[in-house]
Structure 1
Amino acid sequence: MTPFDAPLFDTVLVANRGEIACRVIRTLRTLGIRSVAVYSDDDAGARHVREADLAVRLGPAPARQSYLSVDAVLAACRSTGAQAVHPGYGFLSENADFAAALADAGITFIGPPVRSLDLMGDKIRAKNHVQAHGVPVVPGIAEPGLDDARLVAAAAGVGYPILIKPSAGGGGKGMQAVQVPEDLPAALQTARRVAASAFGDDTLFLERLVSSPRHIEVQILADIHGNVVHLGERECSLQRRHQKVIEEAPSVLLDPATRERIGEAACNAARSVDYTGAGTVEFLVSDAAPDEFFFMEMNTRLQVEHPVTEMVTGVDLVAEQIRIAAGHPLSFKQEDVTLTGHAVEARIYAEDPAQDFLPTSGSVQWLQEPAGEGIRVDSSLLPGLAVSSSYDPMLAKVIAWGPDRAAALARLDTALAGTAVLGIGTNVEYLRLLLADPDVRAGRLDTTLIERRLPGLSFRTPQPPEIAAAALLHLQALADPESGSPWRRADGWRIGGSGAGTRDGSTGTPLHLVFAAPASGGGDVEVSVTGTAAQARIRIGETEHPAGLGAAADGRVSVLFDGVLHSFTAAVEPVTGAFWLAGGSAGALFTVRLRLRSRSEQLDRQLASAGRGAGDADPVVRSPMPGTVVAVAVEDGDRVLAGAPLLSVEAMKMEHQLRAPMDGIVSLSLRPGDLVKADQILATLTPDPVSGTLPIEQHQNQGADHARL
């Protein structure tokens, strides 16, 4: 039997979740291979579970007890007869021990050999290895077993600014940029903690931070017969906190000669470790010297942004991975690779860009995803899908192809305008603002552009018609006892008002509502309503408006506001009272979330701000999202200065450090490992009694009261 006749697999298990699991399952179906999904308890209703031919539960929600459990994945392989495992990206995709365990069990790992994983998975060894094979590298210090003292001592020789990188890392996790020597010790501690949590290895190394860097990566494929090819490069310079946001292929920076050189360097790096399968070699290229490039790392797996390469080359990278793992040679040669047109990808995350990109969670109340010529969507979304804080916040990817870069960018913007996910905060609006940036349009990119532009971005705030729509939807809920609304509960619970709603939803006295509009910086919107949902008078601020809610059909509602008809798609979360609205102007969709505050929440805010003047810092430190406390930097009763780190909370693979909002004495009782809810009070600051403002006993009592709320 020749390699061309070698059979593919009968059954392949996909050891991943989310959009990448769905994407791999799609190709398996095309190839006629039975697919097996795996899932945790949090993902029992996930899209990849529904789309696979079989599905096996791995364990509880925590990744270490489910998706990262080698024993659980092996058991799933045995129970389903899976002959091979596709690891996707993340989780076990670059785990050499996992690949070795599969080999011992007689199961094919759809990825590179263990030696390649082992060598390239260690960034220090990889850097030293490729340098020995003539691949240029960034100046720095990369040696095994470097402790903090040795790293601090070596930093001066490397030169500031410096980039701390985990040796076992990937995806930017644990990377820390340090501008001055005095910040290095604390940054090393954070980097080690994140690296240990994410990769089980806290080994670090240092590189000089390249000014105006561009992140260029080259896609390679290699088979077991010695054939290695590259499929051009991807521009991945639009990043935030070292996480890619928008990627494109090819890069506008490289000329044909440099493209050939960097592609050959990537192939040489792969050959040096006898690589097989799909992989990506990442390079730093200075914008000031585009003909120079430096090796950063090799990702021994499929990349999130692989669709842009597929769209400009016409190659199904997952299908090639499967064929290579089954013993087939590559189906094409280097001279057959042609880049046609341009493709751009945008990652949709469950996050709130207006609130420093804090992760969001919830359930998908209504979903609209784009389609059309040149548009591809790789998604994990489904109506009703619950999105938890247990995993990476990426929900979907929207990819656009065009005959040139301008056409691809225009198509992507139109596609994002037609994307709406109601029930979960997403970054769609932010992506469109980024695509509209003049430097992005012109291709003047670097890895620091997003950080520079973010302070100047203007996010859309809810307008009076949308506020009126949410208020009228609330009145409609009052009038419908079968709606499941919390306002119909028998305990008489109401938001801010007297509970004067009648059977038809009318109010004899004004119904007072308080809306929180996160995109406007957290400011409340005071609303008073009289009448019915069909015919009401709504006071917003100092102005009263006539308004009425029309009939709803297929998720659409119409609102007559000040004599003008507005149309929205609307969804309501009955448990939290959150109203999600999407509406259009000139064909552009937006999504906005309005949250009704209960009496207890309002009282909580009032107590938190009691005793401080207008403009003073809020003494209460709250969790910005549900997550886990991973570090506590102070003890209860410590005196701290404004800006001092207090504790860190991790959610969706992101660590958020919370700092003191003012000088004072800390009151807290949390420890690492504690689970916290969104908006939960984590610490309280009271003025230092040395200043003579309050007796120490009163400070302590006040802090204790806040902590109990």
Structure 2
Amino acid sequence: MLFDTVLVANRGEIAVRVIRTLRELGVRSVAVYSDADADARHVREADTAVRIGPAPASESYLSVPALLDAARRTGAQAVHPGYGFLAENAAFARACAEAGLAFIGPSAEAISLMGDKIRAKETVRAAGVPVVPGAADPDIEAAAHELGAPVLLKPSAGGGGKGMRLVRDLAVLTDEIAAARREARSSFGDDTLLVERWIDRPRHIEIQVLADAHGNVVHLGERECSLQRRHQKIIEEAPSVLLTPEIRASMGAAAVEAARSCGYVGAGTVEFIVPGGDPSAYYFMEMNTRLQVEHPVTELITGLDLVEWQLRVAAGEPLDFGQDDVRLDGWAIEARICAEDPARGFLPSGGTVLALNEPSGAGIRTDSGLSEGTEVSSLYDPMLSKVIVHAKDRPSALRKLRAALADTVTLGVPTNAGFLRNLLAHPDVVSGELDTGLVERDAESLVDGSVPEEVYAAAAAVRFAELAPAPRDGWTDPFSVPNGFRLGGAPKALAFPFRVPGNEPVTVLAPNGAQVTDRSVSVTVDGVTHHFRRAGDWLGRDGHSWHVLDHDPVAAALSGARHGGADTLAAPMPGTVTVVKVAVGDEVEAGQSLLVVEAMKMEHVISAPHAGTVTELDVTPGTTVAMDQVLAVVTPRDEEDA
């Protein structure tokens, strides 16, 4: 018998997605929220919602007492953890059980076992599953030298690519270990690491498993997750073009054995690293004891609702199908929309969603936590939504997803939607020749930081329209019309100075014949008409967006007089300063690391642009900074000597 009320211990798109299934099953949903999410979409869509604390996750979404209290106050019988936050936290699963709540996931023992990558490898190895060669703390530095470069550093306590470091030069191993420990401690509260041999040009294949409390375990096929950036998956598909039916059956059986080895119950994922040249030589990497971000592609090709089955299994129901009943139908591909700016090195972004359009239609699904007015901050994970398509075959799915991304608009917050659309057209992606390093190798060719001419023309059309006077009583004062009229001379075309962050200022003339509304603008440049979505100073098209600002050369000159451009270190992203290594008056060398800024669980090191002296330092550890905010000034050594 299913639960009456379920508390969703998460936020954003995953909370919205879980709430959707709860609603379809007639189960009452309880959302939780921090002060930063008081008006979030998941809060509005749940049947009821409970405030659990202030904005920092450590005081809200990671607070076990606050979550248990919310469950008690709302009469919840079960807790769905989503993914991230406490989803793979054994102590939370145990606390739920002690409070009389069903934890919609595996047992605390299984989470603990598989969450510790070291014990997990030992356990599955004993079950006959091949594993990647490596070692764990305290011997990782010696083991890395024994394995030889390249090696991969990984946090033992968590996944999702956070804290992972690929080290190709062992001369920097000590610094990379320290950075990996910082990220692991920040993300998982545990800085234990392990090191593994790096397999060049590998593919990342994962198997979805589903197990009940009655001894039944099945796999639901594989997902190809090789398209990654900084060890984070960005495009996922099911099935994989790499696997033959025989290899799929072999990997599936290995995944089932891995699940059985830890007494797994619920939905989980067994991840394998696969040499592209020999897919039969696969290695176990880890098991994710939770619902995966990419679970929708499995749902679309199998016809199963994995969240529904999580609920049924947690309520004690047996699976009503066996392995032979699982059928894979067609092809599904998912793209993760993240708050990041590809033109600025994929640094995390933020802002208010001013205009939103999310694709829908036959074979198109969008899982999203967004709505117009949503404030995207640096406090939480940068993923905003997922666009998933289902088609009869892979070429059709690729085309459909590119079209869906072209129709994705998130004005006010820079995203990677346009970049993902470009990636899907990459020849190796189209042919299925994937590996986990493809995106990093070719990212530069997939990112165009320049601003098309028509973007500035559209911005000028908007400014021109804003200057046009409103008629009064059917009459317009001719002297108020912005037509460049001059006494004794020909009209002078109006020119508008603009700047797009990261680009040089430009001045453009107002175009003729443009069509401007509150939500769109169309302009013709060189005989081609271009259509844009618009909101305030933002313009969007084909998944790309541009923040086109008015440029004031006088204000820019005054700002430059205070801070020399090359000497000034500014925040590359909105976030929090976590480390300050220098003080005013310190002598520094070119490239020396001075500060660390963290946003959305990602660290960015700020280094000295040249040798010199720190003459200004405007931040301390814990300071919250905005994008482009001045952090420090380093006066060059040659200027000091002059």
**TM-score, reference length from structure 2:** 0.93
Shift of 1:655: 1.2
> 1:544-564: per-residue Cα shift (whole Å, max 9, x none)?
x653554526x2334466787
- The match for 1:498 is none
Shift of 1:75: 1.1
- Cα shift readout 1:62-103 (whole Å, capped 9, x = no counterpart): 111111111111111011101001000000101111111111
Q: Aligned partners of 2:521, 2:327: CA distance in 1, in Å?
A: 48
Residue in structure 1 matched with residue 613 of structure 2 by the alignment: 665
1:568 and 2:532 are equivalent in the alignment:
yes
* 2:460–2:511 contact (8 Å) kept in structure 1: no
- SS state at 1:205 partner: strand
Instruction: Look up the equivalent residue of 1:228 and give its one-letter code.
Output: V
- What's the offset of the Cα at 1:393? 1.1
Which residue type is aligned with residue 680 of structure 1?
Answer: Q
Q: Specify the alignment match of 2:388 in structure 1.
A: 399
Q: Is this contact kept in 2: 1:218–1:231, CA < 8 A?
A: yes
1:653 matches 2:616: no
Contact 2:468 2:481 in 1 (8 A): yes
| Contact 2:343/2:449 (8 A) holds in 1 | no
Alignment counterpart, residue 282 of structure 1, candidates 256, 264, 271: 271
* Partners of 1:121 and 1:168 within 8 A in 2: yes
How far off its partner does 1:522 sit? 2.2
Alignment of 1:92-241 (within 5 A): 92-143=86-137, 146=138, 150-241=139-230
State the number of aligned residues: 628
Alignment of 1:428-467 (within 5 A): 428-459=417-448, 461-467=450-456
Distance (whole Å) between structure 1 residues aligned to residue 222 and residue 529 of structure 2 = 49
Which residue number in structure 2 is paired with residue 531 of structure 1? none
Q: Which amino acid aligns with 2:122?
A: N
Residue 478 of structure 1 deviates from its aligned partner by 5.1
Aligned pair 1:627/2:575, yes or no? yes
User: Is the CA contact (8 Å cut-off) linking 1:347 and 1:396 kept in structure 2?
Assistant: yes
Match of 1:522 in 2: 503
Q: How far apart in 2 are the matches of 1:457 and 1:8?
A: 47
Q: 1:547 aligns with which of 512, 527, 533?
A: 512
2:631 to 663, 671, 682: 682
Alignment of 1:460-499 (within 5 A): 461-477=450-466
CA contact (8 A) 1:476 1:505 kept: no
CA distance in 2, matches of 1:512, 1:389: 37
Percent identity between the aligned chains? 56
Q: CA deviation at 1:417?
A: 1.3
Cα deviations across residues 664-699 of structure 1 (Å, max 9, x unaligned)? 2233253322211211111212122xx5x4349xxx
239, 247, 254: which one aligns with 2:243? 254
In the alignment, is residue 594 of structure 1 matched against residue 548 of structure 2?
A: yes
Distance 1:659 1:86, change over 3 A: same
C-alpha distance in 2 between matches for 1:219 and 1:507: 65
Q: Does structure 2 conserve the Cα–Cα contact (< 8 Å) formed by 1:429 and 1:459?
A: no
Query: SS where residue 267 of structure 2 aligns?
Result: strand
Residue of structure 2 in register with 1:91 after alignment = 85
Matched, 1:603 2:571: no
- Hey, what's the Cα distance between the residues in 1 that align with 2:604 and 2:83? 24
Partners of 2:206 and 2:344 in 1: how far apart?
Answer: 31
| CA pair 248-562 structure 1, distance change in 2 beyond 3 A | closer
Question: Is 1:17 matched up with 2:11?
Answer: yes
- Report the aligned-residue RMSD: 2.3
- Sort the Cα spacing of 1:38 and 1:503 in 2 relative to 1 into closer, same or farther, 3 A: farther
Q: 1:634 to 1:134 in 2, by over 3 A?
A: farther
- Please tell me whether the aligned partners of residues 175 and 242 of structure 1 are also in contact (alpha carbons under 8 angstroms): yes
Distance in 1 (CA, whole Å) between partners of 2:517 and 2:526 is: 19
Q: Aligned with 1:694: secondary structure? A: helix
Q: In 1, distance between residues paired with 2:551 and 2:317?
A: 60
**Take 2:35 and 2:469, find their aligned partners in 1: how far apart are those partners?**
34
CA distance in 1, matches of 2:600, 2:39: 19
Question: TM-score scaled to structure 1, two decimals?
Answer: 0.85
State the shift of 1:411 in Å.
Answer: 0.9
In structure 1, the partner of 2:475 is none
Q: Partner of 1:270 in structure 2?
A: 259
Consecutive unaligned residues in structure 1, runs of 5 or more: 1-6, 482-501, 528-537, 539-544, 573-578, 611-616, 697-709
Name 1:64's counterpart in structure 2: 58
* SS of structure 1 residue aligned to 2:73: helix
- Aligned to 1:631, the other structure's residue is in SS state strand
1:168 is displaced (CA, Å) by: 0.5
Unaligned runs of 5+ in 2: 471-478, 486-491
TM-aligned CA distance change 1:351 to 1:608, over 3 Å: farther
1:266-292 CA-to-partner distances (Å, cap 9, x unmatched) read 111111111100000111001122101
CA distance in 1 between partners of 2:237 and 2:127 (Å): 29
When residues 626 and 507 of structure 1 are mapped into structure 2, their CA distance, relative to the original with a 3 A threshold, is farther
> Counterpart of 1:54?
48
The structure with higher relative contact order (CA 8 Å, sep 6+) is 2
Equivalent residue number for residue 323 of structure 1: 312
Give the letter for the 1:454 counterpart: A
- Give the drift of 1:129: 1.8
Alignment of 1:364-383 (within 5 A): 364-383=353-372
Report which stretch shifted further, 677-686 or 657-666: 657-666
Contact 1:461–1:517 (CA under 8 A) maintained in structure 2: no
Q: In structure 1, what is the Cα distance between the partners aligned to 2:202 and 2:88?
A: 26
What amino acid is aligned across from residue 539 of structure 2 in structure 1? L
Q: Partners in 2 of 1:191 and 1:336 — Cα distance?
A: 43
For 2:272 and 2:316, how far apart are their aligned partners in 1? 30
Letter of the 2:42 counterpart:
H
| 2:476 corresponding residue in structure 1 | none
Secondary structure of 2:287's partner? strand
